[in-house]
A and B are shown apart, each in its own frame.
Chain A
Amino acid sequence: AQKVTQAQTEISVVEKEDVTLDCVYETRDTTYYLFWYKQPPSGELVFLIRRNSFDEQNEISGRYSWNFQKSTSSFNFTITASQVVDSAVYFCALSEAGGGSQGNLIFGKGTKLSVKP
């Protein structure tokens, strides 16, 4: 069965601290995709990144970086030098390539990040 677990319900940091959001997934497929989305207070989900299961290279985009490790089924997200604008709920999601539900996303329950000035 496919499942995404975000064990951290809420995290609070002070501005300029680094913070890592954990994501652990379960899937039987060998081909799958992992995503991170940001949901600010306005409610809209903002796409941050997509990785496929064959690409374990870590990725950096500005202050954001992602660590994908198939050996531990984890896809963690780190924000370096956090800012107040990073305050949001962050969702990790999984999509399996096979079967009739191609492209459907399975979401974790989200981690609420609060960055205090």
Chain B
Amino acid sequence: DGGITQSPKYLFRKEGQNVTLSCEQNLNHDAMYWYRQDPGQGLRLIYYSQIVNDFQKGDIAEGYSVSREKKESFPLTVTSAQKNPTAFYLCASGTSRYEQYFGPGTRLTVT
């Protein structure tokens, strides 16, 4: 089946630990995105990548890092520098026609 997968669905970490969220797509999309969603809020863009080996910061990139070594994969690392990492993280991939398709999300809880 074509789609976007994110794993795991729920993730728990201790404060001070880095954690990497997985995002894979088999839609052959060039562009991939990471968003963060907090309760009662819309989505905010963390990082995006329009092509392999290239990515740009979004609106709230501080405390996060990404890589784009393969077209299909765009992992997000939440570092210990991120002050409020507990949130719902959504990955998306897009076509050149500005349509973005979203994965099921990963709910990260840091205590």
A contacts, CB < 8 Å to B? 4, 9, 33, 35, 37, 42-47, 50, 91, 95, 97, 100-105, 107-110
Contacts and interface: CB of A to CB of B under 8 A. Distances in A.
Main secondary structure of the interface of A (DSSP, over half): loop
Contacts of B104: 42-44
A43 B105 contact: yes
Q: Which 3 A-B pairs have the closest CB atoms?
A: A107-B42, A45-B102, A43-B105
Nearest to B40: A109
Contacts, number: 63
- Give chain B's interface residue range (CB within 8 Å of chain A): 20 to 34
Main secondary structure of the interface of B (DSSP, over half): strand
A44 B45 contact: no
Interface stretch (B18-26, B77-85, B93-101): B93-101
B8 to A, nearest CB: 13
Contact of A47 (B41, B48, B100): B100
